[in-house]
Amino acid sequence: MPTTPFAQGMSLYRSGDAPAALEKFKAAAEANGEDSAAAYAWLARLQIRTGRPEEAEASAKKALEINKDLPTAQSAMGEVYYRLARFTEAQEIFRKIVLADKQDARAYFGLAKIYWATANYKSAKQVIDHAHEQDPQDPDIFWPWLRTLGPDKRLATLKSQLAMHTGEEDHQRALLLRNIAALEVQEKKPETTCKLTSKVESTEAKLESLFRDPKHMSGYGVGVHLNETNSVLLIDTGAHGITVTARVAQKAGLQKVVDSRTGGIGDQAPARGYLAFAKKVRIGDLEFTGCNVDVIENGRSLGEDGLIGTDIFEDFLVDLDFPKKQLRLSPLPPVPDEPPVELSLHSLMPIDGNVHNRYVPEAYANFEKIYRMGHDLLLPTRINDSPPKLFLLDTGGWDNMITVAAAREASKVHSQESTKVSGLSGQVKDVYRTDDITLTFGKFQQHRRDLLSFDLKHISDDAGTEVSGILGFVMLWVMEIKIDYRDHLVDLEVDEKRTR
């Protein structure tokens, strides 16, 4: 049994009990013993994980004050910078540690996150392998590393890892068992792959106007056939996968797989629901078999039928032509010297199986390079004359929004108690509006007054980095938006007729 508070904290962290580990690291840090600097570094990491980046920054600074040469203290500061969206500073710290061969697994892990965010998959794979080799029991490293393995290796690795987690109080054990069960189901049902089965590989589909009330559009929807049932799902660049109401799931005869929860905007708990299985999904002329669908039991915030996150089209160029009310899907240009991919819908969060670094086809030379964290597309955006901050491209969001902290750097904010904002996670408590603000991103600029402002902390925590605002439908509806999810590229073209 570990004897010191720091050693106990590391043991608890590796078993998946982050709250208990945080308390042990706090005790070890405040004891001012030989482990104090390392304890402050690990305290910073767990403060990031629990959504307290400001406290994490203070802890990382304290670690460096105690021992500025300690690699784990240096990489902890790099992780703080990553959470604050200060990627250049984060990468500089991680690279210095790696180049100095200081054998700090977290520095390699930090580099991997930056490489994944910028579509440099080959480089990410190399450094995450080094990170796992140096610290195979770090759960922050283990789970993303696991996603780079093939299905057979993932299952064997999970079973091998399970043998090391035998205690009933080990939180990692439960997580390992769930993942093993899911992979064993996939082994027994190889049809659950969501592969393209139609002969055509490209399609166009009409977009339908959806309304939140008789006078106001909420967005555009596209017809999606689940099994033999038609539904119209909101096109949502800020969401993942296909999510439908319980009514649609029942009508389509979707097969329940396991209970789940889905989060979104709002200050309450994530919405209850379950993961389901659809034998067939058809969008335009494209048909896929064996796809996962999320079902929300109380789907009032989803609209009539549900939503479809455009990240599931990772194998295609996604062309959202809002002015012409068309969705176009076509295969992405092949990556040179790489085998062709089998086209599919990525109805589960994608496995990081790409082995190339960012490839920009000649036809996409004018596209903007953006960051992608999971399903989130994050565009560097200037607020008045400030340095760029990250805004979420969200066609499912009704309007542009900005965090209170980011707004206060560039404008004044005023409490707006009469304005009600809600999403999948219920109602937002504190809502504000801004004075004059100009947003600049890509080739586009928009001046606004009375921009909605509220806390987007849950989005930042999910993305793992600071998201300072949302670019929503009220502005995006004037654009044709082309998205290459594979290489994190976006092109925005404005229809001037719609801006008049």
* Cβ-based neighbour number of residue 199 at 10 Å: 7
**Domains in the chain: ranges and CATH:** 5-136 (1.25.40.10), 149-188 (no CATH), 195-360 (2.40.70.10), 368-499 (2.40.70.10)
User: Alpha-carbon distance 236 to 485, whole Å?
Assistant: 14
pLDDT of residue 71 exceeding 70: yes
Q: Is the pLDDT of residue 257 over 90?
A: no
427 pLDDT above the threshold of 60: no
> Average pLDDT of 219-223?
95
Q: How far is it, in rounded angstroms, from Cα 268 to Cα 458?
A: 11
Q: Please check the confidence at residue 270 and state whether its pLDDT lies above 70.
A: no
pLDDT of residue 318: 98
The Cα–Cα gap between 141 and 44 comes to 16
pLDDT of residue 348: 64
- Mean per-residue pLDDT for 81-100? 97
pLDDT value, residue 494: 87
For residue 353, the model assigns a pLDDT of 61
Q: What percent of the chain is predicted at pLDDT more than 90?
A: 61
Q: Per residue in 15-36, pLDDT tens?
A: 889 999 999 999 999 999 999 9
CA-derived radius of gyration, the chain: 23
Q: In angstroms, what CA-CA distances link 2 with 23, 45, 419?
A: 15, 20, 53
pLDDT at 268 over 50: no
Where is average pLDDT lowest: 50-59, 337-346, 412-421, 426-435? 412-421
Q: What is the pLDDT of residue 341?
A: 86
Give 327-366 pLDDT, tens digit per residue: 999 999 999 988 888 899 987 655 556 679 999 999 999 9
More confident residue, 475 or 421: 475
The residue type found at 389 is K
pLDDT tens figures, 388-421: 999 999 999 888 999 989 988 888 888 766 555 5
Q: What confidence score (pLDDT) does residue 174 get?
A: 77
pLDDT over 70 at 237, yes or no: yes
pLDDT of residue 162: 84
pTM to 2 decimal places: 0.89
Tokens of 464: 């793992």
Q: Averaged over 253-277, what is the pLDDT?
A: 69
User: How confident is the prediction for the chain on average, in pLDDT?
Assistant: 88
Query: Does the pLDDT of residue 426 top 70, yes or no?
Result: no
Distance CA 98, CA 105 (A): 9
Query: Please, which pLDDT band fits residue 425 given cuts at 50, 70 and 90?
Result: very low
Residue type, 356: H
